[in-house]
Amino acid sequence: MVKFIHLADCHLGGWRQEELQELNFLSFQAAIKRSIEECPDFILIAGDLFDSAYPPIEILKRTFAEFKKIKDANIPVFLIAGSHDFSASGKTFLDVLEHAGFCKNIEDFETTEDGTHKLKPVIYRDVAIFGFPGRKSGMEIDELKKSDFDSVHQTTIFMLHTTIKDVVGTIPMDSIEKTTLPLADYYALGHIHKRFETQEKNSVFAYPGPTFPNNFQELADLNHGSFNIVKLENGKTQTQNIQLPLKEVVFLEIKLENALIATDKVISEIDKIELNNKILLLKLTGTLTQGKTGDINFETIENFVKKKNIYSFLRNISSLKVRESEIDVSIEDTENIEEEILKSYVEKNPGDFNKFMPQLMDALSIEKNEDEKSTIFEKRLIDELKKVLDLQETI
């Protein structure tokens, strides 16, 4: 029986807010403490240990201290670079950790004449561990399609930092079909910040989730970090996802219409909640029919929140809109309001280009899918605009 820890997406140094950067590290520290207590055969870190290839010096010092604890416990650590701590130059602080004897970066392959990458494993107690790093903007996917193992072993783990098709579903983003990957017993995945597991015959594909959420939406969705404890025995895989709930997260969504009274409304809603030593996520939504976003006194709101002895406060106003009022339209049927606005615009601004307006409005109404990369969304949008304008390579 082989027992190991699967960590991914620690993103140490990733938060701008000082208290959340601290909580991020404390969550990583808790994961290391629990990992050592489990006495595993080894620990895997599937990319993005750091949020950048060159993390702050204080983060480095504290990370080295945690790795020393692991080394003192005689537990090997195998890792790969992720899309954040990867460097095109090939030099990152992962190398410093490795040279200090704290871990081993298992990326190792040779490229044959036909372009195939032959991956070489690290062998540990009859377990073959292969690794392939992440790249910026999903550039590792095409390389993975050309990759294979250089040898066959009874027990195989493949650690990689990428996106498999199963986890994104119908979202149009770069991903790889899991069945195109070389055959392994356990795929120790990183990159997607969610807890996810699927199985194909006797192979298990697992994302353990980040050791701490890395942005507002992740905090709302996940609340806290996690990692996996994995056992492999007689061709069977058993996983246990360990949660790391260090602080309680409170998500508050408030729909607004009148910005002139919004400050009092928000404070009134917050006052109903016990927030001592908790993280408050405030999301403001709706369409402002009176006033504008600048009329909401966020300083007053933040001062009120601090009085409730909160640990951290984040706000999100990306879904808060202001009603457009440049064109006067009198209409009872709201389903036809866009048509009426367009008609009013065309009457005031005659020109040949107006024939494209309805199709352009439809094209520009395309929304960015959840987890869809900005570059993919932009390409999809531009392709639609090209079709409308009957252009080939102009845009």
Mean pLDDT of 198-225: 97
pLDDT at 189: 98
Instruction: Give CA separation, 208 vs 226, 237, 241, in Å.
Output: 6, 14, 7
pTM of this prediction? 0.80
Identify the pLDDT of residue 368. 63
What single-letter DSSP state applies at residue 393?
A: S
84 included as an active-site residue: yes
Q: Average pLDDT, stretch 108-126?
A: 92
User: Residues 381-390: pLDDT tens digits?
Assistant: 777 777 767 6
Q: What is the pLDDT of residue 187?
A: 98
Looking at residue 327, its pLDDT comes to 45
Q: How far apart are CA 83 and CA 48, in angstroms?
A: 7
- What's the pLDDT band for 53 if we cut at 50, 70, 90? confident
287-306 per-position pLDDT tens digit = 999 999 999 999 999 999 99
- pLDDT, average across residues 56-71: 96
Give the pLDDT score at 70.
98
The whole-number average pLDDT for the span 355-372 is 66
Catalytic residue among 11, 84, 191, 193: 84
Distance of CA 259 to the CA centre of its chain: 32
Select from 265, 273, 272 the least CA-distant residue to 296: 265
Query: Which whole number is the average pLDDT over 23-28?
Result: 98
Give me the residues paired with residue 2 across strands.
232
Q: Please report which confidence band the pLDDT of residue 328 belongs to, taking 50, 70 and 90 as the band edges.
A: very low
Judged by DSSP in three states, 304 sits in: helix
Mean pLDDT of the chain: 89
CA dist., res. 61 & res. 120, Å (int): 31
Place 137 in a pLDDT band, splitting at 50, 70 and 90: confident
Residue 341's pLDDT is 66
Angle 46-51-52 from CA coordinates, rounded to 5°: 105
**Mean pLDDT calculated for residue range 219-240:** 96
Domains along the chain?
Answer: 2-244 (3.60.21.10), 249-357 (no CATH)
pLDDT of residue 172: 75
Q: What pLDDT is attached to residue 379? A: 73
Region 253-270 average pLDDT? 97
Q: How confident is the model at residue 58 (pLDDT cuts 50, 70, 90)?
A: very high
Tell whether the torsion through CA atoms of 384, 388, 390 and 393 is positive or negative: negative
Range with the poorest average pLDDT among 218-232, 312-326, 331-345: 331-345
Give the pLDDT confidence score for residue 393 in this predicted structure. Answer: 46
Among 36-45, 90-99, 195-204, name the one with the lowest average pLDDT.
90-99
User: Average pLDDT in the 253-273 region?
Assistant: 97
Handedness of CA 132, 138, 140, 145 (dihedral sign): positive
Look at residue 335 in the predicted model and tell me its pLDDT: 46
Q: Which of 314-318, 321-325, 350-354 has the lowest mean pLDDT?
A: 350-354
Q: CA 176, CA 191: separation in Å to the nearest integer? A: 13
Please report, rounded to a whole number, the percentage of residues in the chain having pLDDT higher than 90.
Answer: 72
Check: CB of residue 225 under 8 Å from CB of residue 212: yes
Give the ranges where the chain is alpha helix by DSSP (H). 18-37, 57-72, 93-99, 140-145, 165-168, 216-222, 262-270, 298-307, 337-348, 357-364, 374-389
Instruction: Output the CA–CA distances (angstroms, integers) from residue 369 to 287, 344, 374, 377, in the order listed.
Output: 21, 31, 10, 8
pLDDT at 76 over 60: yes
Of residues 159 and 327, the one with the higher pLDDT is 159
Q: Which tens digits make up the pLDDT trace of 266-281?
A: 999 999 999 999 999 9
